[in-house]
Amino acid sequence: MQAKAFNFLPSKLSSPAIKLPPPPAISFPDHVTGRGISIAIPNPELSPSVVDEKLEAYWDYQFLFVSQRSETVNPVTLRVIEGSIPLDFPLGTYYLTGPGLFRDDHGSTVHPLDGHGYLRAFTIDGVKGEVTFMAKYIETTAQAEEHDRETGEWRFTHRGPFSVLKNGKKIGNTKVMKNVANTSVLRWGGRLFCLWEGGAPYEIDSTSLDTIGNFDLIDGGDGSSTSDGATTVDGGVDFLNIAANILKPILYGVFKMPPKRLLSHYKIDSQRNRLLMMSCNAEDMLLPRSHFTFYEFDSNFKILQKQEFSIPEHLMIHDWAFTDSHYILFGNRIKLDILGSMTAVCGLSPMISSLSVNPSKPTCPIYLLPRFSQHEGTTRDWRMPIEAPSQMWVLHVGNAFQQTHDHNGNTTIQIQASACSYKWFNFQNMFGYDWQTGKLDPSMMNIQGGNKLLPHLVQVSINLDATGSCEKCCVSPLNDQWNKATDFPSINTDFGGRHNQFVYAATSLGIRRELPHFPFDTVVKFDTVKNSTQTWSVGARQFIGEPVFVSKGSDEDDGYLLVVEYAVAKQMCYLVILDAKKVGETNALVARLEVPRHLNFPLGFHGFWAPNE
């Protein structure tokens, strides 16, 4: 195999203080890196005194985002290499989605957020002591256009919101809304879906993982607004509506954006057996207002209720929360970047260049939107946000719940979320991707002072009086002693929207000098009642993704945690099963199972545990 230059190769690989011997060349097959590519990496067996830590860290980071072209035809039984699968493990499947392909066969690379969705499924049978694995690409419209099934060749034609194609059409390329179904996965009402931030879900056959097709949950959504705030108070001309009417045919017709962008994060109200979803109007991405629609579905996908809210702020929402009474939005403030918009439309920069964060206020707006009809006596105007006394960009929400304090109706709303600093968050550089060079720079995710800037878990407490007015709002760490970079908060989903004691998340202990904050190497369990933390960590040059809880008893933490371990030095992936009650103890690990090397896959985003129905 003739070696070619790898796209992510940096200009300087080694520190001038250390002279490295020539690293051995390791050749990966087409399904891992692309056709005919040979990658030089440091020998993992060399001692740390010889191996340049920066070089090692750089390549470890790249290998989290190495393309995988192979798919399974039939389920593959995984080999148990440590522990055993417990008999009481519930029968079901752990689904994990994320990007699978970052480089085509013509020199173009894409941002991880624009990588084609690659669905992984681990079916676990405790009685048989067996786990089978399957993995396939979601056959979206963009995937079908960019992948030749007969030759196996890939050619990127959709640049995606975060990318610019090196060898693709730039000027006049309106193929921007590349629904790659790579962000989250859901099974509801006996049907399986993969979701993306800005398009309809794709339905997947839960047994074969074959793509069934696009599934329109919200009946096409025409983008019409029926909420308050659509006209000016004095009855004058609403220039925002005029601007919206100008933008609609351009966004819907030219750029093929759906009128309502369905968010990839959903919520499940297990008490009412409802699926909760949320959409945004496409044109509001470019206007100083935000229009949100919330939907609640029963198990037959019948819309039980639909509510629309128009907010006079330019906001970017990725995740949200709910309680018995409210939908809760953290208002990440953004603004239109005029220069970025011009270069983006011309194809000279990613479309996301049109937007930038707006740090004009030192607070974070929190919108408490009434989930049902207003409670009697509640007079608070939902259009007025509660300004949390901290400027934070909220990424993911673990849970939210409300508690009544006394007979007067005073209540407290608690929200557990991951947040980062506006100073760090950058639309164009997420994961350290440089769209101009196509390289990934791990330093962006591992900056100095990262404990305060990078994602970390917070608890927001809002005290409301009987009329719904805010008496106090405060933001504090989820745990007073925990200051590590942390994200992907998850809970026992049976406790969604109600009082929970435990939160699980991915974090890094910071013991690796060159990659102290990300990728994550540790599962952390927060006990919010005892204000304590317990951890379980992987070994050197091994990382983890999002932990997912599997319930097996009545206690909140009576169950197991599923997490994928990425052993980048070996180019292997493992499914790890932890006892949720024993995190922090020496016997927390229940089983570790090996994914065959030829099916090693890149970092996933969000997963879902689906028990057999």
Backbone φ/ψ region at 151: left (φ over 0), alpha (ψ -120 to 50), beta: alpha
534: which 2 tokens? 């317990």
Q: Which residues pair with 361 in a beta bridge?
A: none
Q: How many residues comprise the chain?
A: 613
Residue 550 pLDDT: 98
Looking at residue 51, what is its pLDDT?
Answer: 54
pLDDT category at 249 given cuts 50, 70, 90 is: low
Q: Is the pLDDT of residue 407 over 90?
A: no
Q: Residue 535 corresponds to which amino acid?
A: T
Residues 6+ apart with CB under 8 A from 49: none
Task: Please determine, for residue 442, whether its predicted confidence score (pLDDT) is greater than 90.
Answer: yes
Q: What is the pLDDT of residue 374?
A: 57
Q: Is 606 annotated as a binding residue?
A: yes
- Of 113-117, 510-514, 580-584, the range with the lowest mean pLDDT is 510-514
More confident residue, 9 or 510: 510
The pLDDT > 90 percentage for the chain reads 67
67-86 pLDDT, tens digit per residue, is 999 999 999 999 999 999 99
Task: Please measure the distance between the N-terminal and C-terminal CA atoms of the chain and give it in whole angstroms.
Answer: 48
Measure the CA–CA gap between 249 and 475, rounded to whole angstroms. 42
158 is in an annotated binding site: no
Query: Any residues with CB less than 8 A from the CB of 367 and at least 6 apart, and which?
Result: 309, 311, 328, 329, 331, 382, 385, 386
pLDDT-derived band at 233 (thresholds 50, 70, 90) equals: very low
How much is the pLDDT for 132? 98
pLDDT of residue 373: 72
pLDDT tens for each residue of 84-102 = 999 999 999 999 999 999 9
Q: ∠ CA(68), CA(180), CA(337), 5° rounding?
A: 120
In the predicted structure, residue 598 carries a pLDDT above the cut 80: yes
Q: What is the mean pLDDT of residues 313-335?
A: 95
Give the model confidence (pLDDT) of 208-222 as tens digits: 999 999 998 886 543
d(CA 194, CA 97): 7
Closest CA to 364 of 335, 336, 395, 332: 332
Query: How confident is residue 112, by pLDDT bands cut at 50, 70 and 90?
Result: very high
537-588: per-residue pLDDT in tens? 999 999 999 999 999 988 999 999 999 999 998 999 999 999 999 999 999 9
Would you state the pLDDT for residue 405? 73
Provide the strand spans (E) within 90-156.
92-96, 99-101, 116-125, 130-137
**Res. 66 pLDDT band, cuts 50 70 90:** very high
pLDDT surpasses 90 at 600: yes
| pLDDT per residue as tens digits for the range 362-406 | 999 999 999 997 554 567 889 899 999 999 999 999 999 999 877
Q: 580: which DSSP letter?
A: G
Mean pLDDT confidence for 304-331: 94
For the cut 60, the answer to whether the pLDDT of residue 22 exceeds it is no
Cβ neighbours of residue 216 closer than 8 Å, sequence gap 6 or more: 200
The reply, when asked if residue 111 is annotated as ligand binding, is: no
CA distances from 461 to 239, 246, 473, 501, 530 (A): 37, 41, 6, 15, 17
Q: Read off the pLDDT of residues 448-489 as tens digits, 9 standing for 90 and up.
A: 877 789 999 999 999 999 888 999 999 999 999 999 999 999
Q: Which residues pair with 94 in a beta bridge?
A: 122, 609
Residue with tokens 């545990």: 609
- Checking if the pLDDT of 168 tops 70, the result is no
